[in-house]
């Protein structure tokens, strides 16, 4: 971060040359600086608590190997399906869904450190969005080992490097969209146990969808539920980028599904933030 | 801001509270208090648990709104001008309000950045504060490796990063060993004397208040029940105090000594009677005689001492403040006693 900070801007009343007041008060720079500051601390914390991130690395690899090992022959029996390419987006979704710094946020709330931050002139919005910036960096980083695994397994992108980039961006966006839910729980409850329990949200999203077989092979209630699960559309878009090409309608559906979840979950998180930072 | 307005700010008290009421639903935590703290003062805010201490401090720090009343800190209203108040105050409010996975230096730098201190100033401040709170090499270690005393000192440094004019310390030495406690006291004094920082300090330790505070307010049941310098408050009790520890008919003993000449107020706390007297050595003979004359009463100890803040506390709140840890805090308080074996 190369931003240089000047004190000359902003609220004249808050500059600190007043006698008896100490050179205390300096105007604050801007939202971008606050965002970067919050994000940097958050990433540093994540790297120092790898135990919080390791499951997100292990689970996708595990499922990829197991699913491919168990189902590849059956799934490919009908012909026309590259099951490894089909499973790669699933592994990525498993890697990025539910990864957030909500556990760190709720710890800040529980220890009172969050309150200390509220006593600074930090932009309140940056306290949440800075964490999401860190989450984006984190989930993008989590995509990489999965992509390497895919490459080793022989999966190639028909859309080439631009497709790969779009793939990572969409997966990262989905990951961040989902973080609104644990952040909402963290900000609403201030309870670390509740945030830990929010992990269960992962299961319906990740499994009640086309995680194992294509949509046309689903039947009964699962087919119905999968139709309403946004992950179904994100997976379809990611799969298109791997094996299909730039299929605009499918990609658009994936983006819209992600945007809808983001609007809802981040909207809820912002409301919870507003409540949390309001002086009671 | 014009000259007249800044002049007015200088003359304003650091903290000015009038008619402060805070309710939580039907519960009234603070019942209309008035409080003024001058610039440059160390103000001790004493009270038993649940007296409303923390509520008041949180209102002064803009973390809680007053239900009624006017609260100005550093010349600004804590509700209308909360942002300006925050720029001028520092607060160390809770025992471990730190991030354990970051280093002390990282937390200080983070705090500096959130206050938008220019890089050069931030670096200078971090250096100064590291020296002030004496963290040495530990500054580059993660906070989770710190002892309780080190955490508390880092907490203090964080509260000071932006050179606040007013510092709020909520029980800054609770849970610390006597050596760390003294270190914190020295830092508080130095900040006040060298930097002119106004300090508002809540504590349950009477010795701490006695040692540090220029003036004290005692809060009980949401009201200020006594205020003044430690000396004034102690003088209000009487010149000397006679303490009698008895067993048996304590109430009869209380009546008996209350009737004696030269004995002022008599407070009772369990089996201990505390008598305010004008001349301790002269009064103690009469007290001993009166107690000895009572049937069914055993006198365990009679002693004469100067009034302490604990006596003040007992007088204004009807209870002793002594908490579990007070034994270590007041480790040299007992030396004033002139015990007379009974």
Q: What is the helix (H) or strand (E) element at residue B125, kind and residue range?
A: helix B119-132
3-state secondary structure of A10: coil
Residue A12 confidence (pLDDT): 30
Residue A6 confidence (pLDDT): 35
Structure tokens at A40: 């940097």
Residue A233 confidence (pLDDT): 97
Intra-chain end-to-end CA distance of chain B, in Å? 69
Does the beta carbon of B118 lie under 8 angstroms from any beta carbon of chain A?
yes
The reply to whether A22 falls in a domain is no
Residue B187 confidence (pLDDT): 87
Show residues of chain B in contact with A117, CB under 8 Å: 114
Kindly indicate whether the ipTM for this predicted assembly is greater than 0.90, answering yes or no. no
Nearest CA to B243 out of B259, B229, B226, B263 is that of: B263
Strand partners, B27: B24
CB-based contact B209:B44 (threshold 8 Å): yes
3-state secondary structure of B176: coil
pLDDT confidence band for B6 (50 / 70 / 90): very low
Structure tokens at A111: 């220890």
pLDDT at B257 over 80: yes
Cβ distance A19 to B10 less than 8 Å, yes or no, reads yes
Cβ distance A21 to B93 less than 8 Å, yes or no, reads no
Instruction: Please state which of the ranges A54-58, A125-129, B219-223, B307-311 shows the lowest mean pLDDT.
Output: B307-311
Does the beta carbon of B7 lie under 8 angstroms from any beta carbon of chain A?
no
Nearest CA to B165 out of B9, B304, B325 is that of: B9
Identify the residue whose tokens are 């006291």. B185
The reply to whether A232 falls in a domain is yes
Alpha-carbon distance of B333 to B337, in angstroms, equals: 8
Show residues of chain B in contact with A28, CB under 8 Å: 114-116
pLDDT at B159 over 70: yes
What mean pLDDT comes out for the span B148-177?
Answer: 89
Nearest CA to A277 out of A8, A269, B304 is that of: A269
Under CATH, which architecture does the B232-341 domain have? 2-Layer Sandwich (3.30)
Strand partners, B219: B224
Strand partners, B266: B275
∠ at Cα B261 (B257, B263), nearest 5°? 55
The reply to whether A64 falls in a domain is yes
CA distance A169 to chain B (A): 29
pLDDT confidence band for B309 (50 / 70 / 90): confident
Percent of chain B with pLDDT over 70: 89
pLDDT at B161 over 90: yes
Residue A248 confidence (pLDDT): 96
Nearest CA to A61 out of A23, A25, A94, A29 is that of: A94
Cβ distance B114 to A34 less than 8 Å, yes or no, reads yes
Cβ distance A20 to B9 less than 8 Å, yes or no, reads yes
Alpha-carbon distance of B15 to B34, in angstroms, equals: 10
CB-based contact B179:B143 (threshold 8 Å): no
In this structure, what DSSP letter does residue B271 have?
T
Residue B10 confidence (pLDDT): 55
Instruction: Please state which of the ranges B49-63, B184-198, B305-319 shows the lowest mean pLDDT.
Output: B305-319
Instruction: Please state which of the ranges A18-22, B134-138, B197-201 shows the lowest mean pLDDT.
Output: A18-22
3-state secondary structure of A21: coil
Residue A22 confidence (pLDDT): 35
CA atoms within 13 A on the CB side of A40: 15
pTM of the model: 0.80
Cβ distance B96 to A23 less than 8 Å, yes or no, reads no
pLDDT at B145 over 80: yes
CA distance A108 to chain B (A): 7
Nearest by CB to residue B164, choosing from A6, A22, A37, is A22
What mean pLDDT comes out for the span B270-288?
Answer: 87
pLDDT confidence band for B182 (50 / 70 / 90): confident
Instruction: Of A26-40, B21-35, B318-332, give the range with the top mean pLDDT.
Output: B21-35
Alpha-carbon distance of A200 to B8, in angstroms, equals: 59
Residue A157 confidence (pLDDT): 95
Query: Between A159 and B152, where is the model more confident?
Result: A159
Cβ distance A108 to B99 less than 8 Å, yes or no, reads yes
The reply to whether A242 falls in a domain is yes
Nearest CA to B50 out of B298, B221, B242, B266 is that of: B221
Closest residue in A to B62 (Cα–Cα)? A279
Residue A27 confidence (pLDDT): 40
Strand partners, B20: B33
> Helix axis angle, A124-152 relative to A248-277, nearest 10°?
140
Q: Is A74 exposed, middle or buried (0-12, 13-18, 19+ CB in 10 A)?
A: exposed
Mutation site, A20, A37, A44, interface B, largest B CB count within 10 A: A20
CB-based contact B257:B263 (threshold 8 Å): yes
Does the beta carbon of B112 lie under 8 angstroms from any beta carbon of chain A?
no
Identify the residue whose tokens are 């971008």. A32
Alpha-carbon distance of A165 to A84, in angstroms, equals: 19
Helices (H), A153-191: 160-189
Q: Is B110 exposed, middle or buried (0-12, 13-18, 19+ CB in 10 A)?
A: buried
Nearest by CB to residue A122, choosing from B61, B62, B114, is B114
The reply to whether A255 falls in a domain is yes
pLDDT confidence band for B11 (50 / 70 / 90): low
List where CATH 3.30.70.920 sits in chain B. 232-341
pLDDT confidence band for B267 (50 / 70 / 90): confident
**What dihedral do alpha carbons B280, B315, B218, B196 form, nearest 10°?**
0
Residue B335 confidence (pLDDT): 32
Identify the residue whose tokens are 């060298």. B194
Mutation site, A24, A34, A121, interface B, largest B CB count within 10 A: A24
Cβ distance A118 to B83 less than 8 Å, yes or no, reads no
According to DSSP, the β-strands at B198-203 and B166-170 are: parallel
Cβ distance A45 to B99 less than 8 Å, yes or no, reads yes
Mutation site, A16, A22, A45, A278, interface B, largest B CB count within 10 A: A22
Alpha-carbon distance of A133 to B235, in angstroms, equals: 61
CB-based contact A227:A141 (threshold 8 Å): no
Residue B137 confidence (pLDDT): 86
What sign does the dihedral B221-B222-B223-B226 (CA atoms) show? positive
Identify the residue whose tokens are 């949180």. B58
Strand partners, B226: B218
Checking phi first, is residue B131 left (phi over 0); if not, alpha (psi -120 to 50) or beta?
A: alpha
What is the tally of structural domains in chain A? 1
Residues of chain A with pLDDT under 50: 1-28
Q: How is chain B split among helix, strand and coil, in percent rounded to 5? A: 40, 30, 30
Predicted confidence (pLDDT) per residue in B226-253, tens digit: 899 988 888 877 778 889 999 989 988 9
- For domain B3-228, give the CATH number: 3.40.50.300
Quote the domain boundaries for residue A162: 30-277
Nearest CA to B55 out of B14, B83, B24, B92 is that of: B24
Residue B322 confidence (pLDDT): 55
Alpha-carbon distance of A247 to A251, in angstroms, equals: 6
CA distance A164 to chain B (A): 34
CA distance A151 to chain B (A): 35
- Mean pLDDT across chain B, nearest whole number? 85
């Amino acid at each position: 971060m190369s931003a240089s900070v000047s004190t000359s801007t902003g609220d004249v009343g808050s500059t600190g040359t007043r006698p008896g007041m100490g050179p205390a008060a300096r105007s604050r720079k801007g939202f971008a600086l606050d965002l970067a500051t919050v994000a940097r601390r958050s990433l540093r914390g994540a790297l120092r608590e790898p135990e919080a991130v390791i499951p997100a690395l292990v689970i996708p690899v595990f499922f990829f190997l197991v699913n491919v090992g168990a189902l590849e022959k059956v799934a490919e029996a009908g012909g026309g399906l590259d099951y490894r390419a089909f499973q790669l987006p699933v592994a990525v979704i498993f890697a990025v869904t539910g990864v957030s710094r909500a556990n760190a946020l709720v710890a800040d709330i529980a220890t009172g450190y969050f309150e200390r931050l509220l006593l600074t002139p930090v932009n309140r919005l940056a306290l949440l969005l800075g964490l999401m910036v860190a989450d984006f960096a984190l989930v993008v980083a989590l995509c990489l080992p999965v992509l390497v695994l895919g490459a080793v397994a022989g999966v190639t992108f028909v859309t080439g490097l631009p497709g790969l980039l779009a793939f990572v961006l969409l997966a990262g966006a989905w990951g961040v969209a989902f973080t609104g839910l644990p952040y909402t729980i963290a900000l609403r409850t201030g309870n670390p146990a509740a945030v830990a329990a929010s992990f269960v949200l992962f299961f319906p999203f990740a499994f009640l969808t086309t995680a194992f077989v294509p949509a046309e092979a689903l039947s009964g209630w699962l087919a119905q539920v999968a139709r309403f699960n946004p992950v179904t559309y994100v997976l379809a878009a990611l799969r298109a980028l791997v094996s299909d090409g730039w299929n605009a309608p499918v990609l658009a559906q994936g983006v819209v599904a992600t945007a809808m979840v983001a609007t809802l979950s981040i909207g809820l998180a912002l409301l919870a933030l507003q409540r949390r930072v309001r002086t009671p | 801001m014009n000259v007249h307005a800044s002049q007015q700010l200088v003359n304003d008290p650091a903290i000015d509270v009038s008619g402060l009421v805070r309710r939580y639903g039907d519960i009234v935590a603070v019942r209309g208090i008035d409080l003024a703290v001058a610039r440059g003062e160390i103000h001790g805010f004493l009270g038993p648990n649940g007296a409303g201490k923390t509520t008041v401090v949180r209102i002064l720090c803009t973390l809680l709104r007053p239900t009624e009343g006017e609260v100005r800190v550093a010349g600004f209203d804590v509700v209308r001008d909360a942002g300006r108040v925050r720029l001028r105050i520092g607060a160390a409010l809770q025992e471990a309000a730190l991030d354990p996975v970051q280093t002390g230096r990282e937390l200080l730098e983070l705090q500096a950045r959130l206050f938008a201190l220019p890089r050069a100033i931030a670096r200078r401040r971090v250096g100064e504060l590291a020296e002030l709170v004496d963290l040495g090499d530990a500054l580059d270690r993660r906070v989770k490796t710190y002892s309780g005393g080190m955490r508390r000192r880092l907490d203090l440094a964080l509260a000071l990063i932006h050179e606040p004019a007013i510092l709020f310390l909520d029980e800054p030495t609770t849970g610390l060993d006597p050596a760390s406690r003294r270190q914190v006291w020295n830092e508080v004094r130095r900040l006040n004397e060298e930097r002119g920082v106004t300090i508002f300090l809540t504590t349950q330790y009477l010795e701490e208040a006695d040692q540090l505070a220029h003036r004290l307010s005692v809060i009980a049941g949401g009201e200020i029940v006594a205020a003044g310098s430690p000396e004034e408050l102690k003088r209000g009790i009487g010149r000397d105090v006679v303490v009698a520890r008895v067993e048996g008919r304590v109430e009869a003993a209380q009546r008996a000594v209350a009737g004696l000449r030269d004995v002022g107020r008599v407070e009772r706390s369990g089996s201990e009677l505390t008598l305010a007297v004008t001349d301790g050595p002269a009064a103690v003979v009469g007290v001993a005689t009166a107690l000895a004359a009572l049937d069914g009463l055993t006198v365990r100890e009679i002693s004469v001492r100067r009034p302490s803040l604990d006596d003040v506390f007992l007088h204004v709140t009807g209870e002793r403040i002594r908490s579990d840890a007070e034994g270590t805090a007041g480790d040299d308080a007992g030396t004033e006693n002139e015990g007379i074996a009974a």
